[in-house]
Structure 1
């Protein structure tokens, strides 16, 4: 079972968001179960649970884990294909956020649009890497900082902008024959003191409705390469990720 996967198909997204099916997905993320077992857990008739399981299976959200005999009946044990999911903006392709539509570095909505694009692009890269059976080199830096004042925050952002901008100018080589474009996103936002209530996890697997060429380009970009670690606070990940 994958830890997290991305839904790109609008129909799969709709199926995963149905409250009953989301509950079934949450139960199956904990371990394989039959329709009869789930019926007792969610308080629904077995036939109703079977109906929902078939819909989830059609969209690749659950899969057969095995079978077992119970009296004269053979029960199908189903499991979720992932422990959690992210719905890509591709599921709402015609209205997905476009951070290039307007650019405002101090706008929370622009930051949200950047985050949506990150989900979309990384989701497509994971799909392409899986189809190409290649590793995907990724790196994430996660940390927190407590600013003593608004002036300190403004100074931090000014230095951050100058520092990252200098690195971009130093290493940018648009005319390099064997070069490969990379996107850089740096975000600074207040830390939530009380996280939003957790929703029932609903895994999903099917990924289909991406724009033409997206997954092919993602497959071409997938490669097993190292990314050097940097000594800094926060969470550092340096790995070739094979989905």
Structure 2
């Protein structure tokens, strides 16, 4: 996974054709191969590849000689990309502006800061060729009632506060600050798959 922090690189990645090329180039290929695969002229694919290469989103993997032509094999620099709020510094969400633990928008601002901070840490760790010490939990649970949810939140808050009080060392020499984020929100339902279209589907014909 790569974190995009530059505004122009973010703009380049959001172009529909370039986003498709990034997905296709998870497996390195030439412009001609990708063009044939997605049904676009090779010249157009080459243009978009040059833009992606300029922003470091794709890179040359190897060059292959075919007769009098040198074929450039390109590959995406990551299997997936995340655009950091750092790409829009003037309008990036700031949790400090309106802290409210029960506000969904404040939670989103906290999540945006998390992406920004961890993205910056990943970039620095990659440049220094060092590992980054992080930890995350992710799961789902079902509450029988709103009262149970409120009780869970209260107990979770108390437990986290107790752990912070136990392990926080304000005067530890050489200690490093860490940020902890705990979030709870309703699960998002996965979209239902569209039924396959068959010859007998109303409104369709075999020719369609």
- Unpaired segments of 5 or more residues in structure 2? 194-208
Deviation at 1:44, TM superposition (A): 1.7
Deviation at 1:196, TM superposition (A): 9.8
Output the CA distance in 1 between the equivalents of 2:102 and 2:141: 18
Q: Counterparts in 2 of 1:66-215, with a 5 A limit?
A: 66-194=62-190
**Per-residue displacement from partner, 1:130-158 (whole Å, max 9, x unpaired)?**
11121111111112111111110000000
Deviation at 1:195, TM superposition (A): 5.4
From the superposition, tell whether residues 171 and 191 of structure 1 become closer, same or farther in structure 2 (CA, over 3 Å).
Answer: same
Deviation at 1:174, TM superposition (A): 1.6
Task: Check if 1:33 corresponds to 2:12.
Answer: no
Deviation at 1:194, TM superposition (A): 1.4
Counterpart of 1:8 in structure 2 is 5
Q: TM-score, normalised by structure 1?
A: 0.76
Output the CA distance in 2 between the equivalents of 1:42 and 1:196: 26
**Per-residue displacement from partner, 1:17-61 (whole Å, max 9, x unpaired)?**
0111111111101x1111111111222211111111111101110
Q: Counterparts in 2 of 1:211-222, with a 5 A limit?
A: none
From the superposition, tell whether residues 196 and 91 of structure 1 become closer, same or farther in structure 2 (CA, over 3 Å).
Answer: farther
Q: TM-score, normalised by structure 2?
A: 0.89
Output the CA distance in 1 between the equivalents of 2:191 and 2:121: 28
Runs of 4+ in 1 over 4 A off after TM superposition: none
- Unpaired segments of 5 or more residues in structure 1? 198-243
Equivalent of 2:18 in 12, 17, 21: 21
- Please tell me whether Structure 1 or Structure 2 has the larger radius of gyration of its CA atoms: 2
Output the CA distance in 1 between the equivalents of 2:97 and 2:108: 13
Determine helix, strand or coil for the equivalent of 2:135: strand
Deviation at 1:95, TM superposition (A): 0.6
Output the CA distance in 2 between the equivalents of 1:79 and 1:175: 48
- RMSD (CA atoms): 1.5
Deviation at 1:72, TM superposition (A): 2.4
Output the CA distance in 2 between the equivalents of 1:68 and 1:195: 43
State the aligned residue count.
Answer: 193
Determine helix, strand or coil for the equivalent of 1:145: coil
Output the CA distance in 1 between the equivalents of 2:167 and 2:68: 68
